Structure 1
Amino acid sequence: MATQNARKQDPQEALIDDLRDVLADTEAMIDDVTAQGGEKALALRGKIADNLRAVRSRLYDAEQKVAGKAKEAARATDTYVHDHPWQSVGVAAGVGFLLGLLVSRR
């Protein structure tokens, strides 16, 4: 199911979702390693924790970029619609008409 959602999403959004899954899995592994105890387990836990912090930082940066691009696209659309209201109404009507035709054929 995750693969189907990834196909429908923007590649950057799919990457963000994948990173979230990796973070959750890694945190679960940390809990397992901690339960086992021992010096090697503690060292491994430290390395994994460092990697998690790095991934979280990259994930945050990626989310900020995606959000910034979405806001930029929304602003550009808003500006275009305000500058060309009748063309926007015409395009919306045409798209609505085409969608109506496609839905009525089923």
Structure 2
Amino acid sequence: MNDITSVQKDKLMGDLRVVIADAEELLRMTADQAGESAADIRSRVQEKMNQAKADLFNLQEAAVAKAKAAGHATDEFVHENPWKSIGIAAGVGLVVGLLIGRR
């Protein structure tokens, strides 16, 4: 389930990057539009994009921190239980081999 969640998070972050890039392009294209309301809308959109960028950065930082913590925990487990780790790896390899062999 965590793999599905991480894939969904990666897709969401990618989609958000695309939306931000499109919005920035739209702002550049409408920069020559005159009027107080156009300037007001552009400033509000720019403010929201800056907030979205900051949120995206925070989400990436949290994802990196979680990945590092998981890697550290795995490293500690392997160093503390080398034979268990070898057994688990062999079991997973056997299951994967059996699944591949069925096809």
Stretch moving more, 80-89 or 26-35: 26-35
Extract unaligned runs of 5+ from structure 1.
1-6
Name which of 56, 61, 76 aligns with 2:58: 61
Say whether residues 1:86 and 2:102 are aligned partners: no
Say whether residues 1:38 and 2:34 are aligned partners: yes
TM-score (norm 2): 0.84
Percent identical pairs in the alignment equals 34
Q: Give 1:55 deviation, angstroms.
A: 0.7
Q: Give 1:21 deviation, angstroms.
A: 2.1
Say whether residues 1:98 and 2:95 are aligned partners: yes
For each residue in 1:16-72, what CA deviation from the matched residue of structure 2 results, as whole angstroms up to 9, or x when unmatched? 22321221221122123224x112322222111111111111111111101100000
SS of residue paired to 1:74: helix
Name which of 21, 24, 30 aligns with 1:24: 21
What is the alpha-carbon root mean square deviation over aligned residues?
A: 1.8
Runs ≥4 in structure 1, deviation > 6 angstroms?
none
Name which of 34, 47, 51 aligns with 2:48: 51
Name which of 9, 14, 17 aligns with 1:12: 9
Residue type of the alignment partner of 1:26: A
For the 8 Å contact 1:12–1:66, the answer to whether it is kept is no
1: CA distance, partners of 2:17 / 2:75: 32
Question: How many residue pairs get matched?
Answer: 99
